[in-house]
Chain A
Amino acid sequence: MTSLVEVTNMYFHYPRARIIAGEAAWTLEDISLSIQPKSTVGIVGESGSGKSTLVRVMCGLLRHQQGNVKFNGKDLSEFEGDGANDLRRENQIVFQNPRRSLDPRMTIRRSLSEPIRALHNRQPGDDEIIATIERVGLGREVLSRFPHQLSGGQLQRVGIARSLSVQPTILYADEPVSALDVSVQAQVLNLLMDLRDQLGLTLVMVSHDLGVVSRMCEEIVVMRHGRIAEAGRTDSVLARPDSNYTASLLKAARAASLERA
């Protein structure tokens, strides 16, 4: 089976960071991983370890300096012109803070039609917009509202609907529920699992919550200091971690979590 995303010996640094910190300072160092179609991958690790940066490199929002990143067998650098649009359409991201990722001056309807306008160069029809919003469990009455008139959980649903409106192959969710409280988290996580199953999506989730990752993701990537500390099947990595770092994350997570059967 060909991988959907294939990263080999990839290095990345932000433009200014490297000059300040000297030659050796890579934000991401020697990253190799592959993502299979329709799999769900969790990316965990401490703050600043490079999780969000990795996601941005994989979907082409940031350009790596060394190594290879391929999408559907094709190097990211080969996606140019119309190809660049295809890449953006196939790779969608949902961010942590729904309030910050939607334009406060736009109605929800307008926010939802934006990706289709930008990537398909057409105005989506009303039926299409309604189907999009209903798919994430919201009613059409929210379409005329502005972001400040919706709750955090509703806004995150809008963010998800927006990403899915262009029928991506892969959905990246960067801490999609950490700004939400427990009960709303549960709704959004269930929604993500349902949509993944219905649409046959590949889902890559950045999360600091090992409980969430162990529920949702068959594969896990543990990041530390810009490197992959450990990766593999979630149940085997978490049941028998090879890396001391993974073990310490697990210990912290267990201490402050409830045990669930």
Chain B
Amino acid sequence: MLQLRDVRVVIDGHEIIRIDELDLAPGSRLGLVGESGSGKTMTAKAIAGLLPDESKVSGSVIFEGQDLLTLNDREMSKVRGKRIGFVFQDPARSLNPMMRIGKQVSEAIRIHSDLKGDAVTAKVIDLLHQVQLPEPETLLRRYPHQLSGGQQQRVMIAAAIAADPDLLIADEPTTALDVTVQEEILRLLISLSEERKMSLMFVSHDLGVIRFVCDRVAVIYGGNIVESGRIEDVVAHPMHRYTAALLAANPGMPKDDNFSAFIGKRLQTITGSVPAVGKFPSGCRFRNRCLSATDACSTMPSPITTGNDHRYLCWNPGDRGQS
């Protein structure tokens, strides 16, 4: 349903995104994972047509047979919200602090439907129910600051699914939430996607969270999709060294509840940090931080695909026996 081909985004002469291939099948849930500054949000914005004005974009973003990159602003704003819903990183910043919850959700409904008056209110209440908010009838009169972080995030999701989109893009929707609330929101996203046959693109820096929510994952670094595949395959057999490093740095939970063996254990870190825009090396973008780099790595690796569409771009692949 969503296919990115040779998508390139250039801002101020710097290539921020270059994705040769990224696919999302109908009804499936794709995780997009990478460190801060790896290009997750810019990828989401490229799909949404929300890139800054000065960006130069080429390639194609085919959504349900239509190339979104050929649409003008008016056409694109119809797609956005109606067929593709978005939930962005920080609910506190995405909700209007001066506007009551009910109004924010009803605006999302009005823009994309002919409903009026009481029908809109009924729909708002129904949506707030669907995202499992308590007492929607009173809640809709509240302002965002009167809701907890988790409740705000549910309101965001309610607004994003108001028009019954075929695809929901959620950019780090749970990073600010505590574990139990996070798990509830994640379960909500899973059940919404199953009930509505809605595809989900879920952005996060945490592979543990992605494994819970998604069936497939794409790993992004330096604006390139360096590895993609079924989440279980990628977690069990990371091929690109960046994927392996991300997995190793994840604190996780001890296997077989062996908590005593876990105490005091240091985490593996990734050498260096994500370079600023324009400061990534040529060839494999990860090569200045990679412990397995070879001479070949100064040229861009060619993609290799194995079973179950496990695809990666690495000259010296292979997991280092992560567990």
Chain A residues within CB distance 8 Å of chain B:
46-48, 151-153, 178, 181-187, 189-190, 193, 208-212, 214-218, 234-235, 238-239, 248-249, 252-261
* Interfacial chain B residues near A257, Cβ < 8 Å: 208, 250-253
Majority DSSP secondary structure for residues of A touching B: helix
**How many residues on the B side are at the interface (Cβ–Cβ under 8 A)?**
49
- Contact call A189/B251, Cβ cutoff below 8 A: yes
A182-B206, A257-B208 known; A252-B179 Cβ under 8 A = yes
By Cβ-Cβ distance, the 9 closest A-B pairs, closest first, are: A260-B252, A186-B267, A235-B259, A252-B183, A181-B205, A258-B252, A208-B178, A257-B208, A211-B251
Nearest CB of chain B from residue A177's CB, rounded to whole Å = 9
- Contact call A252/B247, Cβ cutoff below 8 A: no
* Interfacial chain B residues near A212, Cβ < 8 Å: 251
Q: In the assembly, what is the distance between CA of A235 and CA of B178, in Å?
A: 21
Q: In the assembly, what is the distance between CA of A254 and CA of B240, in Å?
A: 26
Q: Would you list 23 pairs from A and B whose C-beta atoms are within 8 A, ordered by A residue?
A: A46-B178, A47-B181, A182-B35, A182-B206, A183-B246, A183-B249, A183-B269, A183-B270, A186-B249, A187-B269, A216-B264, A218-B263, A235-B260, A253-B179, A256-B186, A257-B251, A258-B208, A258-B247, A258-B250, A259-B253, A261-B254, A261-B255, A261-B261
Within 8 Å of chain A (Cβ to Cβ): is B92? no
- Contact call B245/A260, Cβ cutoff below 8 A: no
- Contact call B252/A211, Cβ cutoff below 8 A: yes
Q: Tally the A-B contacts, defined by beta carbons under 8 Å.
A: 145
* Interfacial chain A residues near B177, Cβ < 8 Å: 47
Nearest CB of chain A from residue B304's CB, rounded to whole Å = 24
A181-B36, A187-B269, A259-B255 known; A209-B179 Cβ under 8 A = yes
- Contact call A185/B36, Cβ cutoff below 8 A: no
> Which B72-106 residues have C-beta < 8 A from chain A?
none
* Interfacial chain B residues near A259, Cβ < 8 Å: 252-255
